[in-house]
């Protein structure tokens, strides 16, 4: 008996347009302003790199008040530490992403800076979303793992000429979309898939029959992100911190999973934030996409190593094609790089002898050069074996996941999902663009180097002197040893970032190279 599976699209649209207001708007100055706000009791979700010292510095005004947060959250901190295989949290030293901590800020005030504000034009009418859904003839959603924004395409009938008339959507309007399946695999197997939120960027009409086509893309409301070229120098920072700054400017959230990667200095030369950030991520083997008012950045190799979420057999495919590069994959890379500080050319090799990828680049050190080389050769190898398949939709699969392919003999194996095109109209299908996962070339992060009876350590995002002291001396309370050995660089860097002083080492920044004296 044939399955009575059903799929439908749900559109959210209210007819309003959201714009980012800057400078003087309707006589109201919304340029950068600062205000103090009492934040009372808040809930804070731990992210990668956090320490109680850093969180206390941010919300309580001093890192040394970390124990107040620990005492208020002892149960959850200790429980989570045990769930991660530790005997205890070592009085809050071990905290983990996802923990929700309660922080009583008391009478502390928090300074916030507002640079832009969004305004809504028009009168909201949520029923327009239902009206658009009823007029729908076909719908597609393109889910891309990296390099571009997700998009949707909507085709509607316009028999009464409403959409080309008084209901005509305007540039900048926001459209939400989701796909709902009913009895899809079995009776009662219902599923709701959220495609995200999109901004209209293309509108066309045709006839006869009278129809309206809408194209929309997932981008920040602030159009400057993808349209305004900027020139600036980023110094003594990390990829993660650059991404956070760009997200803050665009008014969107950042999801970052992977190493922060130190940046000594890099030029953003007449590039949009969108193009610059994508190129920076690509340089270090990170994937980047914009999804539903978020910028998502993650490690490509780590995603390829994740467990496959589904097995797709040849019998599940309504169409497929496979392309293989005759030259095969690269087994290693020969790299020539130049250290700009000494203007010296250095050669290194990664991987194994065989088919070698050759490149030249500029790097801050050997590790930075190796990271760039590994990213390049791994990206090249992802084009070696490409598989495109069309299947009856399985919305549990999303771009950036892995699937197992079976029933194709020598082509069977684990593949990474680069792109999915969801099409709803006469049925619901998904076209998947895949690449076979190759053995990745990896780079081992160098250990902290010993120097004059101690070590050198380069600060990364989320570090505190307390945490560094804990790492090297086994006791965070010895942080003052590190501060006194590096007082000049810590204080100078704090002033470069607009601080009066470092607060006795409370303020440290990614890229600072600290001398860690040997323990006595």
For the segment 255-261, the average pLDDT, to the nearest whole number, is 85
The predicted pLDDT at position 24 comes to 42
Listed range (85-94, 172-181, 357-366) with the worst mean pLDDT: 357-366
Whether 220 shows a pLDDT value over 80: the answer reads no
Please tell me which of 268-272, 344-348, 453-457 the model is most confident about, judged by mean pLDDT: 268-272
Residue range 133-154: mean pLDDT, rounded? 90
Residue 132 has which token pair? 């658009």
Class of domain 35-114: alpha beta
User: Beta partners for 430?
Assistant: 391, 422
What pLDDT digit, counting tens, does each position of 169-212 carry? 887 788 989 898 887 777 777 888 888 888 888 999 998 899 99
Is the pLDDT at 367 greater than 50, yes or no? yes
The pLDDT of residue 174: 87
> Can you tell me the distance from the alpha carbon of 271 to that of 230, in angstroms, rounded to the nearest whole number?
5
At the second CATH level, the architecture of 6-22+120-217 is: Beta Barrel (2.40)
The residue with greater pLDDT, 112 or 408, is 408
CA distance 161 to 410: 54
Flag whether pLDDT at 34 surpasses 50.
Answer: no
Q: Looking at residue 461, what is its pLDDT?
A: 75
Cβ–Cβ < 8 Å for 426, 487: no
Domain ranges of the chain: 6-22+120-217, 35-114, 224-302, 320-436, 449-516
- Going by C-alpha positions, the residue among 143, 48, 98, 144 that lies closest to residue 463 is 48
Q: Which two tokens stand for residue 476?
A: 């965070």
DSSP string, 425-487: ESEEEEEEEEEEPPPPP--PPPPPEEETTEEEEE--TT--HHHHHHHHHS-GGGHHHHHHHTH
- Whether the per-residue pLDDT at 30 is higher than 60: the answer is no
Cis peptide, bond prior to residue 445, ω within 30 of zero: no
pLDDT confidence of 429, banded at 50, 70, 90? very high
What is the rounded CA–CA span in Å between residue 210 and residue 217?
24
Centre a 10 Å sphere on the Cβ of residue 231 and count the other Cβ atoms it contains: 10
pLDDT, greater one: 92 or 314: 314
User: What is the mean predicted confidence (pLDDT) over 125-146?
Assistant: 91
On the question of pLDDT at 445 being above 70, the answer is: yes
Going 97 to 116 to 147 to 180, the CA torsion angle's sign is positive
**What kind of architecture, by CATH, is found in domain 449-516?**
Roll (3.10)
The tokens for 303 are 């995603």
Q: Using alpha carbons, select from 148, 363, 234, 59 the residue that is nearest to residue 243.
A: 234
Work out the angle at residue 156's Cα, subtended by the Cα atoms of residues 151 and 160, and round it to the nearest 5 degrees. 145
Give the pLDDT confidence score for residue 388 in this predicted structure: 97
Taking residues 446-462, report their average pLDDT: 68
Would you state the structure tokens that stand for residue 343, as one six-digit string? 């203007």
- pLDDT for residue 257: 85
pLDDT band at 119 (very low <50, low <70, confident <90, very high): low
The predicted model gives 228-241 an average pLDDT of 86
This prediction has a pTM of: 0.67
Kindly tell me if the per-residue pLDDT of 38 is higher than 70: no
Residue 448 has pLDDT above 70, yes or no: no
Give the span between the Cα atoms of 97 and 80, in whole angstroms.
10
| DSSP strand pairing (385-392 vs 24-25) | unpaired
**Distance in angstroms (rounded) separating the CA atoms of residues 261 and 443:** 12
Instruction: Give the β-pairing of 310-313 and 356-362.
Output: unpaired
| Amino acid 364: pLDDT | 74
Predicted confidence (pLDDT) per residue in 284-335, tens digit: 999 998 877 788 999 999 999 999 999 999 999 999 999 998 776 777 778 7
- Residue 33, pLDDT above cutoff 80: no
Overall average pLDDT of the 234-238 stretch? 82
**1 pLDDT band (50/70/90 cuts)?**
very low
For 386-400, what is each residue's pLDDT tens digit?
999 999 988 889 999
Neighbours of 202 (CB within 10 A): 12
With pLDDT > 70 as the criterion, what percentage of the chain qualifies?
87
CB 404 within 8 A of CB 310: yes
DSSP-based helix, strand, coil % in the chain, nearest 5: 25, 40, 35
- Residue 81: the pLDDT is 83
Q: What separation, in Å, do the N-terminal and C-terminal C-alpha atoms of the chain show?
A: 79
Whether pLDDT at 236 is above 80: no
Most confidently modeled range among 325-334, 367-376, 380-389:
380-389
Question: Stretch 489-497: mean pLDDT, rounded?
Answer: 85
Residue pLDDT, tens place only, 151-175? 999 999 999 999 999 999 887 788 9
Residue that the structure tokens 């020539």 belong to: 336
Fold of 224-302: Phage tail protein beta-alpha-beta fold (3.55.50)
- pLDDT of residue 109 exceeding 50, the answer is no
For the segment 435-450, the average pLDDT, to the nearest whole number, is 79
Domain 35-114 and domain 449-516 have a common topology: yes
Q: Which residue has the higher pLDDT, 234 or 85?
A: 234
């Amino acid at each position: 008996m044939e399955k009575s599976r059903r799929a439908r699209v749900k559109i959210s649209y209210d007819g309003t347009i959201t714009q980012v207001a800057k400078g003087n708007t309707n006589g109201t100055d919304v340029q950068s302003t600062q205000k103090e706000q009492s934040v009372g009791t808040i809930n804070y979700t731990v992210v990668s790199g956090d320490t109680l010292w850093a969180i206390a510095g941010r919300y309580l005004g001093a890192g040394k008040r970390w124990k107040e947060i620990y005492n208020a959250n002892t149960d959850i901190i200790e429980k989570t530490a045990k769930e991660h295989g530790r005997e205890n949290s070592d009085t809050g030293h071990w905290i983990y992403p996802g923990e929700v901590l309660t922080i009583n800020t008391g009478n502390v005030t928090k300074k916030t800076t507002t640079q832009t504000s969004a305004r809504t034009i028009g009168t909201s009418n949520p029923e327009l979303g239902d009206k658009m859904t009823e007029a729908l003839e076909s719908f597609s959603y393109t889910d891309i793992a990296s390099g571009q924004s997700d998009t949707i395409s909507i085709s509607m009938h316009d028999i009464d000429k409403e959409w080309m008339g008084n209901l005509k959507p305007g540039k900048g309007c926001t459209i939400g979309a989701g796909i709902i399946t009913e009895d899809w695999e079995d009776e009662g197997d219902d599923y709701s898939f959220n495609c995200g939120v999109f901004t209209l960027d293309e509108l066309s009409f045709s006839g006869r029959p009278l129809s309206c086509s809408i194209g929309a893309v997932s981008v920040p409301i602030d159009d400057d992100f993808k349209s305004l070229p900027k020139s600036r120098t980023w110094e003594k920072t990390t990829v993660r911190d650059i991404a956070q700054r760009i997200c803050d400017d665009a008014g969107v959230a950042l999801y970052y999973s992977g190493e922060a990667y130190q940046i000594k200095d890099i030029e953003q030369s007449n590039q949009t934030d969108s193009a610059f950030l994508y190129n920076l991520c690509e340089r270090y083997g990170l994937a980047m996409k914009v999804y539903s008012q978020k910028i998502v950045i993650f490690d490509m190799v780590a995603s390829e190593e994740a467990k496959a979420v589904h097995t797709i057999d040849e019998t599940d495919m309504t169409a497929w094609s496979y392309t293989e590069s005759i030259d095969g994959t690269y087994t290693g890379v020969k790299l020539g790089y130049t250290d700009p500080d000494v203007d010296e050319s250095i050669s290194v090799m990664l991987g194994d002898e065989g088919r070698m990828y050759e490149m030249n680049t500029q790097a801050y050190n050997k590790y930075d050069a190796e990271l760039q080389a590994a990213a390049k050769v791994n990206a090249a190898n992802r084009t070696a074996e490409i598989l495109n398949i069309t299947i009856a939709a399985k919305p549990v699969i999303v771009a950036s996941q892995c699937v197992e392919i079976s029933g194709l003999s020598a082509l069977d194996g684990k593949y990474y999902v680069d792109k999915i095109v969801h099409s709803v109209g006469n049925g619901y299908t998904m076209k998947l663009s895949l690449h076979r996962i190759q053995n990745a070339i990896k780079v081992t992060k160098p250990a902290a180097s010993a120097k004059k009876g101690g070590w050198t350590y380069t600060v990364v995002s989320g570090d505190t002197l307390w945490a560094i002291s804990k790492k090297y001396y086994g006791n965070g309370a010895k942080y003052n040893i590190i501060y006194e050995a590096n007082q000049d660089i810590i204080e100078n860097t704090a002033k470069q970032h607009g601080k009066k002083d470092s607060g006795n080492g409370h303020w440290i920044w990614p890229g600072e190279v600290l001398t860690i004296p040997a323990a006595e």
